[in-house]
Amino acid sequence: MSLLQEWAAATGLIAVCQQIGPDLTALHVLPKLKELFDELAFSQETTSGFGSLGGSLKIFNTKGDEEDQPERRLDLVLLLYPHFASLLGIEKLRQCCATWLLLEQFLLRRHNWKWEYTRKY
């Protein structure tokens, strides 16, 4: 699947999840999303040299195609993670996703994204 197809699929997934709501999203989508986030978080460690793995683990099977490079695929995190944090709540997303800290550090470093708590009065 090309990067463009992955982005289109991710955008469609976000739209469907907004329609079905947070409860059904948490029940049906979050388990699969967790697998994707884990895969992306560990690919981020290997491509940036970040973390204790030091490049010893390679999750993605890259075929040399520029669109399939893990660095570019990681931009899916910027599309998906903030939307699901907003839809489900950051606490629920963090409970489901054991790699949340790696993902949020990546988002902060590469895209200057940080979850901001807002109080409702």
Q: Note the pLDDT of residue 24.
A: 95
**Does residue 121 lie within any of the structural domains?**
no
Q: Is residue 97 part of a domain?
A: yes
Q: Does residue 72 lie in a domain region?
A: yes
Residue 45 · residue 53 · CB < 8 Å: yes
Distance CA 101, CA 119 (A): 22
The DSSP secondary structure of 29-73, one letter per residue, reads IHHHHHHHHHHHHHHHHHHH--STTTT--------S-GGG-HHHH
- Return per-residue pLDDT of the chain as tens, 121 residues: 777 888 899 999 999 999 999 999 999 999 988 888 888 888 755 455 444 333 333 334 444 454 446 666 778 888 899 999 999 999 999 998 899 999 999 899 988 888 887 655 4
Residue 46 has a pLDDT of: 42
The answer to the question of residue 118 being in a domain is no
Q: What is the pLDDT of residue 44?
A: 55
Query: Would 116 be classed as within a structural domain?
Result: no
Give me the pLDDT at residue 47, please: 52
How many distinct structural domains can be found in the chain? 1
Q: Give the residue numbers spanning the domain of 33.
A: 3-111
The answer to whether position 19 is within a domain reads yes
| Prediction pTM value | 0.72
